[in-house]
């Protein structure tokens, strides 16, 4: 497949020598052979869409879904039954796609962060495709969440012009459809084409009118998206390209009604994946057309697979597996992660096989259903919260608004909505141990960069003059195994660890001190703590250690010391400000003691501190906002 590229390189070399004229003449004779070699490689049309899980697509078993074009594509191609996103939200998910490296392994996992990566070490997959002779295009969305390079830089075109594609074969073209995006589920839900009676509610949603209406409203949007998929397929056919083009369809993560997008349950990560491979490339097929494929596929696998089947270079740093063709690699586990989602702090990992889903909550004190300005724009979310506040939810439909357990286990084959946590059932203890051990190994192998708080990591990277990718691969700067062990102790809630926590509060590494104070916090309700040791942590160099120590004191009765600590940090524009805003909201005792400090806070955290200020009713006056903007410009 790479004969054409090799020939080009040889031609470029000889053109710089005295034989250049002779070689140029030879090229005219060889060009037809070269073109024939190139035509043996497939075109790829990647039809992505946004925010919908398998439950919105008819061929995946929802009798009320209206997706005839996607269903027809599945009948002609191969329907993957176990495909999962690594992140349940767009930017980190697409960060993983474009590089073939887990966002969590690069530090690009927090939503809308755009932290840089070493672009001299990590290229984007279109770069490799171009080197292999492909014409590459991407229509509309990029959203790679990576700093240091313009998202559009890697592409030859940003529009699907079929005449242009026909002239530039082989091509790799991405068309991203936005009609199923979460925002399309906003607005009026009272005038839908789809009948609210004809929806299949998730078990965690109460059966109330506005939630049914919002389901129907989103079914309307998915139907529009499906029509666009049909249009693209018809245009491919009309251009005479269908017989030479592999078609891929999938969503960028799950969604979209509350407790799906942004969460690591099936609803947020289980995505449709359908691939149609023409006869010319049938050696790449995983079975006969129309087959339902049970292979476990992770989004991280897509980059390596596309490069492999196109005959492009697959560099050693790629973290996925090949899932198409004779050199297909099997996958035992899929890993996904949740970090900060816009203005809300969280830190979660999940690992799964085709049956069991294990979730580890590093911040169990953060509720699932934290108020997120964007999510609460949806009528279903508002109605669900109101229903809960009125005391009308039960143990399943009301759980979303509570705090999380340290860990969760779900039998996804029998409980696809993930509402029955089996973590404490002794019958599944061996599954918990197996999956937990596999997750530990994955974190070490892939350099999990979120074993310290986000802004603590950013501070460490800036002070070292390195990217987060480089920091986590330097054991002098980031001891992943030590942090993993410290975090595990903090989550065990074992009083036998208390002496170790007090000892670790004096450790020179801020990450170890952070997990020590978190461990004390997690034990506070079950055993007395040495509050003097905690009080000393109010002067810690790490602002995140200070913030958590203050919370322990707050719960221990010394609210004055806690408030003084948080107010000082906020007034000084602490890099832990967003976490402090979240803590104060989680406590639920009001903002009155903090309002002046909240208004004075100058740390932006990408603008998300401002969102918390608005939500809590402490947004600074216009003149102060202008001053902050001017200060940034300077």
> What's the pLDDT tens digit per position in 61-88?
999 999 999 999 999 999 999 999 999 9
Give domain status of residue 591, yes or no. no
Q: Are residues 109 and 32 in the same domain?
A: no
Exposure class string for 475-497: b at 16+ Cβ within 10 A, else e: eeebbbebbbebbebbbeeeeeb
Give domain status of residue 468, yes or no. no
Q: If you average pLDDT over residues 199-225, what whole number do you get?
A: 98
Q: If you average pLDDT over residues 7-13, what whole number do you get?
A: 40
Give domain status of residue 267, yes or no. yes
Least confident range from 30-39, 61-70, 139-148, 417-426: namely 30-39
Q: Are residues 79 and 58 in the same domain?
A: yes
Which residue in this structure is represented by tokens 């909505």?
417
pLDDT at 5 over 50: no
Number of structural domains in the chain: 2
Order of strands across the sheet with 291-298?
135-139, 171-177, 43-49, 245-251, 273-276, 78-84, 291-298
The pLDDT assigned to 625 comes to 54
Give domain status of residue 172, yes or no. yes
pLDDT at 10 over 80: no
Percent of the residues in the chain that have a pLDDT greater than 90, as a whole number: 91
Cis peptide, bond prior to residue 440, ω within 30 of zero: no
Q: Are residues 284 and 320 in the same domain?
A: yes
Least confident range from 30-39, 162-171, 400-409: namely 30-39
The pLDDT assigned to 190 comes to 97
Task: Single out the residue of 154, 193, 194, 189 nearest to residue 174, CA to CA.
Answer: 154
Residue 134 carries which DSSP code?
-
Q: Are residues 15 and 164 in the same domain?
A: no
Cα 435 → chain centroid: 20
29 falls in which pLDDT band (50, 70, 90)? very low
pTM of the model: 0.92
Q: Are residues 312 and 248 in the same domain?
A: yes
Q: Are residues 120 and 202 in the same domain?
A: yes
Q: Are residues 5 and 78 in the same domain?
A: no
- Write the CB contacts of 7 (distance below 8 Å, at least 6 apart in sequence): 30, 34
pLDDT digits (tens, 9 = 90+) for 340-394: 999 999 999 999 999 999 999 999 999 999 999 999 999 999 999 999 999 999 9
pLDDT digits (tens, 9 = 90+) for 429-471: 999 999 999 999 999 999 999 999 999 999 999 999 999 999 9
3-state helix, strand, coil in the chain (%, to 5): 45, 10, 40
Cα 264 → chain centroid: 9
Give domain status of residue 256, yes or no. yes
Q: If you average pLDDT over residues 420-428, what whole number do you get?
A: 98
Least confident range from 131-135, 267-271, 413-417, 627-631: namely 627-631
Gap between the Cα atoms of 166 and 157, Å rounded: 13
Which residue in this structure is represented by tokens 């879904």?
65
The pLDDT assigned to 96 comes to 98
The pLDDT assigned to 223 comes to 98
Gap between the Cα atoms of 531 and 81, Å rounded: 52
pLDDT digits (tens, 9 = 90+) for 544-559: 999 999 999 999 999 9
pLDDT digits (tens, 9 = 90+) for 579-593: 999 999 999 999 999
The pLDDT assigned to 315 comes to 98
The pLDDT assigned to 2 comes to 43
pLDDT at 629 over 50: yes
Within 10 Å of residue 511's Cβ, how many Cβ atoms? 25
Which of 301, 334, 351 is the endpoint of a domain?
A: 351
Give domain status of residue 592, yes or no. no
Q: Are residues 34 and 130 in the same domain?
A: no
Give domain status of residue 201, yes or no. yes
Better-scored residue on pLDDT, 6 or 135:
135
Bridge pairing between strands 146-147 and 245-251: unpaired
Q: Are residues 60 and 185 in the same domain?
A: yes
The pLDDT assigned to 179 comes to 97
Tokens for 445, please give them: 């192998």
621 falls in which pLDDT band (50, 70, 90)? confident
Which 3 state secondary structure label does DSSP give 256? coil
CATH number for 274: 3.40.720.10
Which of 294, 323, 351 is the endpoint of a domain?
A: 351
pLDDT at 16 over 60: no
Give domain status of residue 212, yes or no. yes
What are the backbone angles phi and psi of residue 548, rounded to the nearest 5°?
-70, -35
Q: Are residues 113 and 29 in the same domain?
A: no
Gap between the Cα atoms of 345 and 334, Å rounded: 23
- Identify the domain containing residue 28 by its residue range: 1-40
Gap between the Cα atoms of 343 and 111, Å rounded: 9
Q: Are the C-beta atoms of 459 and 451 separated by less than 8 Å?
A: no
Q: Are the C-beta atoms of 438 and 351 separated by less than 8 Å?
A: yes
Which helix (H) or strand (E) is 46 found in, with range?
A: strand 43-49
Q: If you average pLDDT over residues 44-57, what whole number do you get?
A: 98
What are the backbone angles phi and psi of residue 381, rounded to the nearest 5°?
-65, -45
Which of 351, 378, 408 is the endpoint of a domain?
A: 351
Q: Are residues 87 and 33 in the same domain?
A: no
Radius of gyration of the chain (CA): 26
Task: Single out the residue of 410, 95, 90 nearest to residue 250, CA to CA.
Answer: 90
Compute the half-sphere exposure of residue 63: CA atoms within 13 Å on the CB side of its CA: 3
Q: Are residues 280 and 329 in the same domain?
A: yes
């Amino acid at each position: 497949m790479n004969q054409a590229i090799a020939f080009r390189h040889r031609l470029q070399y000889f053109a710089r020598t005295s034989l250049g004229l002779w070689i140029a003449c030879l090229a005219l004779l060889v060009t037809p052979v070269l073109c024939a070699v190139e035509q043996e490689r497939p075109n790829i049309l990647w039809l992505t869409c946004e925010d919908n899980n398998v439950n919105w697509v008819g061929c995946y078993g929802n009798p009320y879904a209206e997706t005839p074009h996607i269903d027809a594509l599945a009948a002609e191609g191969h329907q993957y039954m176990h495909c999962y996103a690594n992140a349940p939200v767009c930017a980190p998910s697409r960060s993983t796609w474009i590089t073939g490296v887990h966002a969590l392994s690069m530090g690009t996992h927090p939503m809308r962060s755009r932290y840089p990566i070493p672009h001299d070490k990590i290229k984007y997959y279109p770069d490799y495709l171009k080197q292999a002779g492909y014409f590459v295009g991407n229509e509309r969305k990029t959203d790679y969440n990576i700093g240091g390079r313009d998202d559009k830089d890697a592409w030859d075109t940003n529009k699907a012009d079929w005449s242009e594609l026909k002239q530039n074969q082989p091509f790799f073209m991405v068309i991203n459809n936005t009609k199923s995006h979460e925002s399309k589920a906003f607005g009026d839900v009272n005038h839908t084409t789809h009948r609210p009676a004809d929806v299949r509610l998730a078990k965690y949603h109460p059966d109330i009118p506005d939630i049914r209406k919002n389901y129907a409203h989103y079914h309307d949007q998915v139907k529009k998206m499906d029509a666009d998929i049909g249009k693209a397929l018809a245009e491919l056919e009309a251009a005479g390209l269908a017989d030479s083009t592999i078609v891929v369809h999938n969503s960028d993560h799950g969604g979209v009604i509350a407790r799906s997008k942004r969460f690591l349950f099936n609803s947020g990560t289980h995505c449709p994946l359908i691939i149609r491979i023409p006869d010319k490339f049938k050696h790449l097929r995983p079975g006969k057309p129309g087959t339902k494929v049970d292979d476990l596929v992770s989004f991280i696998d897509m980059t390596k697979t596309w490069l492999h089947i196109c005959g492009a270079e697959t560099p050693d740093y790629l973290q996925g597996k090949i899932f198409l063709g004779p050199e297909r690699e099997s996958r035992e586990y899929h890993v996904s992660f949740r970090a900060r989602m816009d203005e809300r702090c969280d830190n979660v990992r999940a690992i799964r096989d085709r049956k069991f889903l294990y979730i580890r909550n590093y911040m169990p004190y953060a509720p699932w259903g934290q108020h997120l300005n964007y999510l609460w724009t949806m009528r279903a979310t508002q109605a669900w919260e109101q229903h809960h506040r009125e005391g009308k939810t039960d143990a399943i439909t009301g759980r979303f608004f509570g705090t999380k357990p340290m860990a969760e286990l779900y039998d996804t084959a029998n409980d696809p909505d993930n509402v029955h946590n089996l973590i404490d059932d002794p019958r599944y203890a061996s599954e918990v141990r197996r999956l937990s051990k596999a997750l530990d190994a994955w974190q070490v192998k892939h350099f999990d960069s979120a074993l310290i708080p986000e802004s603590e990591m950013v501070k460490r990277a800036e002070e070292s003059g390195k990217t987060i990718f480089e920091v986590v691969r330097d054991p002098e700067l980031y001891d992943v195994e030590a942090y993993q062990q410290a975090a595990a102790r903090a989550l065990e809630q074992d009083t036998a660890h208390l002496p170790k926590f007090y000892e670790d509060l004096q450790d020179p590494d801020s990450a170890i001190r952070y997990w020590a104070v978190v461990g004390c916090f997690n034990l506070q309700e079950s055993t007395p703590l040495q509050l003097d040791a905690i009080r000393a942590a109010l002067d810690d160099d790490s602002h995140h250690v200070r913030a958590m120590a203050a919370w322990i004191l707050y719960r221990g009765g010394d609210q004055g010391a806690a408030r003084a600590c948080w107010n000082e940090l906020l007034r000084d524009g602490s890099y832990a400000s967003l976490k402090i805003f979240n803590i104060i909201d989680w406590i639920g005792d009001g903002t009155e003691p903090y309002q002046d400090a909240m208004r004075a806070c100058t740390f932006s955290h990408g603008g998300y501190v401002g969102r918390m200020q608005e939500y809590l009713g402490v947004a600074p006056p216009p003149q102060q906002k202008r001053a902050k903007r001017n200060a940034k410009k300077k």
